[in-house]
Amino acid sequence: MPDLKDGETTEMKGSGAKPYVLKNVGGVYSCSCPAWRNQSTAIERRTCKHLRKLRGEAAEKERLGGELPAKPVKPAAEAKGPPLLLAQSWDNAMDLSGWWMSEKLDGVRAYWDGKQFLSRQGNIYHAPDWFVEGLPATPLDGELWIDRKKFQQTVSVVRRQDKSEHWKSVRLLVFDAPQCEGSFESRLQFLADTLGADQHPYASLHEHQCCRDVAHLQEELARIEHLGGEGLMLREPGSKYEVGRSTSLLKVKSFHDTEAIVLDHRPGKGKFKGMMGALIVQLADGTEFSVGTGFSDAERVTPPPPGSVITFRYQELSDGGVPRFPSFVRVSTLAVVEAANASEPVSATAKAVKSKKKEADTSVPRYFEFSDGKSNKFWEIAIDDTEVTVRYGRIGANGTTKVKGFANTDAAQKQYAKLISEKEGKGYTETNA
């Protein structure tokens, strides 16, 4: 039977107009069909009729280490999550004076339905009886949290099903009571009466304060971020608990402005077809990335040329030094004039900058995580000369390690960059291990 080598891709006709894409990345086979994508099992344990047709039943059975599923796994869309209020991002323009301000926690969102904890997707968190003892029968909306910068540790504890002693490090910080009638203030009072004054050893009301003005917001945001926190959450005064995404709940993170030189243009797709889709840019330290938002249609038709310098806005840097959520602000006119008046032509300057590579120790593993409510996975990659080592699996487990050798270091570096790009495209986020 035919098979895919590591890194290879093929297409297979399905029931839709477009063919499905089948891939093999580091021994993990995938298919773009809904039957493969909607499975709730780990990606390395998934299969579908297209993979079985390509590789054969025996090969797929051997790869999965057991019997193949007799029927497709129930689509995730059929699973029903709890009725949660979800936040919008602050636009930096709305006046938030008088709104209720609290720290944005880097824990695990949890809905207490009166009997058990549920994730946003409706999965059960198996908390020990001693942890939930004394919690009210009334639904609570909160966060299972250990500490700042402890998201990975929190996930590894709450995803366990053995109701272990590790839960003693977890706290439930409650910020709303979804089924209580009335304003947000009245719900806070209910929570204070229910959970206040150390009434529960593991649960407490999350602290809120009234935002006086933008200066107060910025001061509190700086304080929280200095402590290692993610940002702030703002609740509209007098608001009801609305299920779904709502402007009555806003998340606020710091934005930073800096400059980058334009290296190239990426063509637009869809509604931007025939225009610029994104700018390929580079920071002074050699970090390359793309900026694809913040442009007007006119700027997409006539984008900043290679060699020009732009100002862009971003929220934070990834652990790899790449700006997250970059958005175009303007062309830096002064920098363009200086580049044009330089002894070296702009085009040559751009080429010189483009050829400069960011110096990084690729032997140190880069660690990525992915969480969609159904599974929480990690992926790690490192290079040792001509060998690329990949380790992947469920967060909290040792995972599977694969090592692949290449003819030379350039080939290894190319595969290293390709695999990272693929993972980021699938929603993996780089973080600290």
Render each residue's pLDDT in the chain as its tens digit; 433 residues.
578 888 888 888 876 667 888 888 877 888 888 888 877 777 778 898 888 888 888 888 888 876 666 544 444 444 478 999 999 878 666 789 999 999 999 899 999 999 999 998 889 999 999 999 999 999 999 999 999 988 878 988 998 888 989 999 999 999 999 999 899 999 999 999 999 777 899 999 999 999 999 889 989 999 998 898 889 999 999 999 999 888 899 998 877 788 999 999 999 888 888 999 999 999 988 889 999 888 988 999 999 999 999 998 887 777 678 887 788 888 875 444 344 444 343 333 344 344 443 344 455 678 888 877 677 788 888 887 778 888 888 876 767 888 888 877 778 888 888 888 888 777 777 765 4
| pLDDT attached to residue 56 | 86
Helix/strand/coil percent split, the chain, to 5 = 25, 30, 45
0.95 cut: is pTM over it?
A: no
DSSP three-state, residue 291: strand
Rg (CA), the chain: 25
Is position 104 annotated as part of the catalytic site?
yes
Q: Give the pLDDT of residue 1.
A: 56
Edge-to-edge strand order for the sheet containing 376-384?
A: 400-405, 387-394, 376-384, 366-371, 429-431
Q: Which one is catalytic: 18, 49, 74, 104?
A: 104
Q: Which of 263, 292, 261 lies closest to 276, judged by CA?
A: 292
Q: What is the DSSP string of 356-382?
A: ------TTSPEEEEEE-SS-EEEEEEE
**350 close to 307: Cβ distance less than 8 angstroms:** yes
The burial of 17, by beta-carbon neighbours within 10 Å (0-12 exposed, 13-18 middle, 19 or more buried), is given as exposed
Cα 391 to its chain centre, rounded Å, is 19
Closest CA to 174 of 156, 188, 159, 158: 188
Q: What is the pLDDT of residue 16?
A: 63
The β-bridge partners of 256 are: 314
Per-residue pLDDT, 403: 81
Q: Is residue 388 within a helix (H) or strand (E), and if so which, with residue range?
A: strand 387-394
Rounded Cα–Cα distance for residues 351 and 340 (Å): 14
Query: For position 144, what pLDDT does the model report?
Result: 96
Q: Given this model, what pLDDT does residue 347 score?
A: 39
Q: For the chain, which domains are there?
A: 9-77 (no CATH), 85-252 (3.30.470.30), 256-355 (2.40.50.140), 366-431 (2.20.140.10)
Strand, coil or helix: 294: coil
Q: How far apart are CA 326 and CA 316, in angstroms?
A: 9
SS3 34: helix
Distance of CA 27 to the CA centre of its chain: 24
Report the pLDDT value the prediction gives residue 411, as an integer from 0 to 100.
81
Beta-carbon contacts of 196 under 8 Å, excluding residues fewer than 6 positions away, are 204, 205
